[in-house]
Structure 1
Amino acid sequence: MNIYMFPSLNGDCILVEYVASRYILIDGGYVDTYKAFLLPKLVEIADNGGVIDVLVVTHIDRDHISGIIRMLEEDKLPISIKEIWYNGYKHVQSSVHVSEEDEIFVHKDICKETRSVNSIPISAKQGCTLSTLINRKGLLWNRPANGNTMKGLSSYLLGDATIHILSPNSNDISNVEAFWKKKLIKAGLLSKAHSNEYWDDAFEFSLSQEKPGFRDVKVHIKSV
């Protein structure tokens, strides 16, 4: 087994070769992490016939997710990615039907117009966060859980390897759902706590604003 940990300041970007030419990628650090370190490595791996079996996105802090967003914004991915494990908002709420008119309203009201570092601007309607990019790339999403929430304690086979999920647990998921309901109520978008109006993009973008935005800060990273 080989483990590569790329510079990402206080964030994470970890590439695990669990068997020859088969990899697990955990988070992507900042955009600079992706451009300077992760991208060249992924191109090298792809040129030698390697693939990413699982891309794991742990959470949406910019020092974990910015590099992943930049990669998924590429017209062509630098390497084959078999599936992604990531809990978007649809994984912490019941399935609902949302009209296109309502969806556009929330995108405009919460997401606004966003721009990633050194990339083509992505409008709110196109999607400003990871969930939309996953759908646009057609990636298998949370496959071991049949598309549902990835949570602990659970274990999944990946070839000859076993992956153990330790968190989040059911209480963690409930807490995030409650947080988002309060955010929408405060914004005047919900009249009561149990509205059916939920959106992945608005959820992720709103959570990201609890800390400095993960898409609009330029960070220079170099090896040490």
Structure 2
Amino acid sequence: MIKIKMYPACQGDAFLVSFNNESTNIIIDMGLGKTYTDFIKPDLTALKHRGSSIDLLVVTHVDNDHIEGAIKFVKENAGNSEIIEVKEIWHNSYRHLQFSKNAKALEHDEITTLKQICSQNNLRTEQVGLQNVSIEEGVTLAGLLYGYNYPWNIKLGSNAVIKQNEVVKIADDVAIRLISPDVNKLEKLAQSWKSKLESEKYDFTMNDDELFDDAFEQYMKMPELHSSVQDISKNDQQLNFGELVNLVGKDNSATNGSSIAFIIEHKEHKLLFLGDAHEDNVYEELSRLNANGYELDFELVKVSHHGSNNNISKRLLGLISSKRFLISTNGRHFHPDLGAIAKVVDSGMRAEIITNYPHDKLETFRASIAKQSQNVSFKTTNQIIVE
């Protein structure tokens, strides 16, 4: 049996996936700080009391609504024992970006610039003094992982979490098949970071100083970086069903492009978790798998980017089948998009669309579903059981 908790994470993502009566547990993102405090922490405390641990925590990317709860958890968990043991964390930070770094020491003005970047986005970060963590203005996930020496990307040789041909074994009967990001998406993120630094100083030193991880994380969390990503839900109420189905979008966010996406394999079951990953990356890798005889039949799909039309397509849905589509959002940023829902309805799959908050806009599809004799239903819940 697989038990999936889809926490009420406001506009963010937070999932706990448990296998075989909690003998193996995977957390995927932890939402905002309040998500962790109000919902996740009590579950982790109970897991520890029952003798369980977290086999893997995946922080898919650096957006606030995916990472802030993880920062608060790692801070409280301290040396990996206060709340619950975490056997491994997967997360891509500055150290994993695909560009060469040299041994040259940072100059004084470069250190000053990086510290200023750290402070620019820490108004929402609690001020915490923490020994052995190289950050002065606030606490980042990278700084905490360094400071507490957490096992970080160990199963991947301490390298970047990127798509690869081999599955990664998490437990005897639980494995992960990575499908996103690829090197190109991480290079795009790296270029965004380098452009920021070079706007401050020509030929900015790029080395392995841990201060880079802190500044990188704080900069990439700034909301203005995502202002170019415009979803269309606020304007799609006037479109008919056919127009919604054919509505095409594209996510150009470098941080979303770096999002970790993967298939969890457990016995005969497959679960597809897409984070905020780009549609092109997901489609290309799933197509490759399918061409090699891999069946793309899923128990559930966690829809990318909270049901954004920019991260889903007719071609992707035509490639897979799934019994459930999970959409995690409270409706902020107008998610889920009606275009995304219309595509799932139009795909012809017999499936549930499961949300962790109620959305009145979904009611607009009931007439279309009945008219087309489609077997799609809507459900609001925070817990899914796969048997």
Gap runs ≥5 in structure 2: 227-355, 359-387
Shift of residue 185, structure 1, vs aligned partner: 1.2
* Structure 1 residues 211 and 71: alpha-carbon distance in aligned structure 2, compared to 1, 3 A threshold: farther
Is the 2:118–2:137 Cα contact (8 Å) retained in structure 1?
no
Q: Which amino acid aligns with 1:184?
A: L
Q: Match for residue 196 of structure 1? A: 206
Which of 185, 208, 211 aligns to 2:221? It is: 208
Once residues 19 and 135 of structure 1 are traced to their aligned partners in structure 2, the CA distance between those partners, rounded to angstroms, is: 32
What is the RMSD computed on CA atoms of the aligned residues?
Answer: 2.7
Judge which range, 73-82 or 139-148, deviates more: 73-82
In the alignment, is residue 49 of structure 1 matched against residue 12 of structure 2?
Answer: no
Task: Give the number of equivalent residue pairs.
Answer: 212
Q: Which amino acid aligns with 2:186?
A: I
Q: Match for residue 119 of structure 2? A: 112
Shift of residue 197, structure 1, vs aligned partner: 4.8
Once residues 69 and 42 of structure 2 are traced to their aligned partners in structure 1, the CA distance between those partners, rounded to angstroms, is: 13
Shift of residue 54, structure 1, vs aligned partner: 0.6
Shift of residue 106, structure 1, vs aligned partner: 3.7
Judge which range, 103-112 or 48-57, deviates more: 103-112
Is the 2:77–2:84 Cα contact (8 Å) retained in structure 1?
no
In the alignment, is residue 30 of structure 1 matched against residue 15 of structure 2?
Answer: no
After TM superposition, the score normalised by the length of structure 1 is 0.83
Judge which range, 56-65 or 72-81, deviates more: 72-81
Gap runs ≥5 in structure 1: 214-221
Larger relative contact order (CA 8 Å, sep ≥ 6): 1
* Structure 1 residues 126 and 54: alpha-carbon distance in aligned structure 2, compared to 1, 3 A threshold: farther
> Which structure shows the bigger proportion of residues in helix conformation?
2
Q: Match for residue 143 of structure 1? A: 154
Shift of residue 30, structure 1, vs aligned partner: 0.8
Q: Deviations over 1:122-173 (max 9, x none)?
A: 5943753111111112111111221011101342011121101110011101
Q: Match for residue 217 of structure 1? A: none
Q: Please state whether the residue corresponding to 1:80 is helix, strand or coil.
A: coil
Which of 100, 125, 133 aligns to 1:94? It is: 100
Structure 1 residue runs of 4+, over 4 Å off?
Answer: 100-104
Larger Rg: 2
Judge which range, 41-50 or 135-144, deviates more: 135-144
Identity in percent: 32
After TM superposition, the score normalised by the length of structure 2 is 0.50
In the alignment, is residue 163 of structure 1 matched against residue 200 of structure 2?
Answer: no
Q: Deviations over 1:37-92 (max 9, x none)?
A: 00000000011011001110001111111100011111644110011000001101
Judge which range, 98-107 or 45-54, deviates more: 98-107
Q: Match for residue 13 of structure 1? A: 14
In the alignment, is residue 184 of structure 1 matched against residue 197 of structure 2?
Answer: yes
Is the 1:104–1:125 Cα contact (8 Å) retained in structure 2?
no
Q: Please state whether the residue corresponding to 1:74 is helix, strand or coil.
A: helix
